Amino acid sequence: MNKKWQIYETNENKIQEIQEKYQLNKLLATILVNRNITDKEDIRLFLEPTRNDFHDPFLITDMKKAVERIVQAIEKQEKVTIYGDYDVDGITSITVLKSFLQDRGLEVESYIPNRLEEGYGLNQQAIGKIVKSGCQLMITVDCGISAIEEINYANSLGIQTIVTDHHEPGSELPAALAVIDNKRKDSNYPFRELAGVGVVFKLIQAIGISLGLKEEEYLKYLDIVCVGTISDIVPLVDENRVIAKLGLMLIRQTKNIGLRSIIHSSGYSKIDSNSISFGIAPRINACGRMGKAEEALELLLSKNYNHVSELTRNLNEHNRIRQETEKNIFENAVKQIEEENLNQNNTIIVGGENWHHGVIGIVSSKITEMYFKPSILLSFEEDGIGKGSGRSIPGFDLHDALMQCADTIEKFGGHSMAVGITVRKENFLKFREEFEKIASQAHIDEIMPVIQVDSKIDVKDINKDMVESLKQLEPFGEGNRMPVFVFKNLRIDSIRALSEGKHLKLTLKDNNTIMNSIGFNLGHLAEEYRIGDKIDVVGVLEINSFNGVDSLQINMKDVMRSL
C-alpha cells in the first residue's frame, strides 16, 4: 500500500533559537518547533511539568455544587454509590473515587454494568437496585452525560445524582444535581480533553481543597489516574501530560499492590506509556470484554496479597481467552474478505454467527489498519439481529455515512471514527451495497495514509546520547506521537524475514556507517528488495537492549526505493 511521507517544513532560525536559548540538542529543538512548543513556559510545561501545573478544579462548571453535596454526604455519613463503566477509564475512575471517599469515612458501593448483558451506561433496572440498597447519592464516572431518561427515573425514586463524564453532551443535559463535564457548551475550563478518570481526579482535588487536606491525599492516586488516562487514548497534552508525566513516576514506586502485580505479570521491565497501553490496559479491558469487570476493580482495590495474586491470574486468563477469541474472529473475517474479494471494495463489511461482542470492535480496528478501509463487523444471533462495531480511516466520517443509509439500519451511535451498529440479517447485503455506494461517492479511494515525518537525519550523525535525549518527550501517545524520521539513500547490507515471514530485519549502510533496522509486519518486503538496493526509510529511532548490550536501531514504518 502506498503511503505519503509528509515532512515538516523546517524553520531553521526558530530551531537554532530554541536550541541555544534552552540548551537543547538540535533534534529536540526541531521536534518542539514542529509541534509548536516554542514559548518558554510551554517548553517547561512539556518537558518538566510539576504538581503546580494543575488547573483550578473550581473553574469547572458545577464543581462547587458537587463538592458541597459530597461534603454533606461525608458529614452525615450517607451511603454513596459510584456508577461506572467496564473499560480501563471507568474502572480506574471508580478505584480513585471509591478509595478517596472511603478514606474520608464514607460507606461507598460501586456498580459496573455487564458489557454483554446491559451494555454501556446507566439503565433503569440497575438504578432500581441501587435505590433498594439504601443509597442516597449516586455519582457517575465516565458515563451519564447522555442518560436523560435514566436520571429522570433516579430523581423520581428520590435519589440524587452527580454526573462526572468526559463525553460530548447532547442538546439536553441530564437533570442531575451537578453535571461535571468539560465538554459542556457553557464550560470555561481551560482544558476539555480529560479522560473520565481525569475528571474524577479534578473532583477529588476540589474536595481535598474544600476539606483543607494535604495535597498528598489526592496526588497519591496519580498512578491510577495515569493508567486510565493513557489507556483511554486522550491527547497527552496540557493537563493530561501533567497527569501522565507525574503519574508514570509514581507508578514506578506504586503502593497499589494490584497495579504492581499486574505490571509484574505483563512482563514489561520498563514502565512507560507503551507498557501501560500494551501490558496493563489489555488485561484490565479483557475483564470488561469477557463480562468480568468487577475482578479488575477488585484487583486495584484489594489490600490482600493472596487475593491480588489470584485476581492477577484471572486477569491473565481472561486476556488469554480474549486474544484467542479475537484471533479466531479475525481469521474468519479475513477469510471472508479474501474469498469474496471485499478488499477490492472501498469499504469492508462482514458478518459472522455469534461472534463475541466484547472483542468485535478490536477486530474491526485490525481490519481497518490492515486494509486501510473503513470496516464494520456484525455478529448475527439466532433471532437474525446483527450487532457490531465499525472503525474508519482519517478523512471519512463513518457516523455521517451511516446517517445516509439509516433505512437499512436498526440503530447506531458513535462518532466519525468509531460506531456501534445494529442491522437485521435480511438487510445485510442491501446495507453493504448502500454503504459502499456512499463511500464511493465520497471518493474514499483517493484517501492515502499519511506518515508525518519530523526531520531528515543522516545515519552517520546518530549517536546514543541523541536517541536518549528523545526520552524527554515521553510519555508518547495520542497528541504526542513518537518522533518519526526519514533516512535517505541507504544501501541494503543484509535482508531477511523473521517470524515466518511476518517481520523484516535489515542492516543498512550509509558510506562506512552500519545501522540495524527492524520492520514489524513488513516481512512481505523481503521479496521486493535485494542486497545492494538503495532505499529511503521512515521510522523511529530506538535503543535495542539484547543480552545486556545496547545497540541503536531504526524501527521502520515504511520503505521505498531511493530516487
**CATH number, domain containing residue 386:** 3.10.310.30
Let me know if residue 334 belongs to a domain.
no
Which residue from 379, 372, 334, 390 is spatially nearest to 355, judged by alpha carbons? 379
Q: Average pLDDT in the 375-390 region?
A: 91
> Is the domain of 110 the same as that of 220?
yes
HSE-CB for 400 with a 13 A CA cutoff? 8
> Is the domain of 193 the same as that of 303?
no
Domain that holds residue 313: 252-323
Report if pTM > 0.75: yes
* pLDDT of 187 over the 80 cut: yes
HSE-CB for 97 with a 13 A CA cutoff? 35
End residue of a domain, out of 221, 248, 275: 248
> Is the domain of 28 the same as that of 102?
no
- What pLDDT does 53 receive? 96
- Reading the block at residue 137, the C-alpha cell is 447519592
- Reading the block at residue 343, the C-alpha cell is 478488499
Q: Average pLDDT in the 521-526 region?
A: 91
Dihedral angle of Cα 263, 267, 271, 274, to the nearest 10 degrees: -110
> Is the domain of 309 the same as that of 398?
no
> Is the domain of 308 the same as that of 427?
no
> Is the domain of 38 the same as that of 66?
no
Cβ-proximal residues to 127 (8 Å cutoff; 6+ apart), any chain: 138, 150, 153, 154, 157, 159
Name 450's bridge partners: 4
- What pLDDT does 549 receive? 83
> Is the domain of 22 the same as that of 105?
no
Let me know if residue 329 belongs to a domain.
no
Q: Average pLDDT in the 109-121 region?
A: 85
> Is the domain of 220 the same as that of 243?
yes
User: How do residues 12-49 score in pLDDT, each as one tens digit?
Assistant: 999 999 999 989 999 999 999 999 999 999 999 999 99
Are residues 386 and 379 in contact, defined by beta-carbon separation less than 8 angstroms? yes
How far apart are alpha carbons 312 and 287 in whole angstroms? 11
78 to 106, 175, 204, 556: CA distances (angstroms): 7, 21, 17, 57
**How many domains would you assign to the chain?**
4
> Is the domain of 90 the same as that of 200?
yes
> Is the domain of 172 the same as that of 69?
yes
Let me know if residue 331 belongs to a domain.
no
CATH number at residue 516: 2.40.50.460
- What pLDDT does 495 receive? 95
Are residues 72 and 215 in contact, defined by beta-carbon separation less than 8 angstroms? no
Position 139 confidence tier, pLDDT thresholds 50, 70, 90: very high
Name 421's bridge partners: 388, 412
User: How do residues 466-482 score in pLDDT, each as one tens digit?
Assistant: 999 999 999 998 889 99
How far apart are alpha carbons 456 and 453 in whole angstroms? 8
> Is the domain of 223 the same as that of 257?
no
End residue of a domain, out of 214, 248, 282: 248
- What pLDDT does 1 receive? 65
* pLDDT of 308 over the 80 cut: yes
Let me know if residue 546 belongs to a domain.
yes
How far apart are alpha carbons 279 and 275 in whole angstroms? 5
Are residues 195 and 232 in contact, defined by beta-carbon separation less than 8 angstroms? yes
Pairing of strands 385-391, 411-414: unpaired
End residue of a domain, out of 230, 248, 266: 248
- What pLDDT does 284 receive? 95
CATH number at residue 203: 3.90.1640.30
Let me know if residue 335 belongs to a domain.
no
Let me know if residue 330 belongs to a domain.
no
User: How do residues 367-382 score in pLDDT, each as one tens digit?
Assistant: 999 999 999 999 998 8
Range 181-203 burial, b when 16+ CB lie within 10 A, else e: bbbbeebebebebbbbbbbbbbb
> Is the domain of 95 the same as that of 182?
yes
Let me know if residue 495 belongs to a domain.
yes
Let me know if residue 333 belongs to a domain.
no
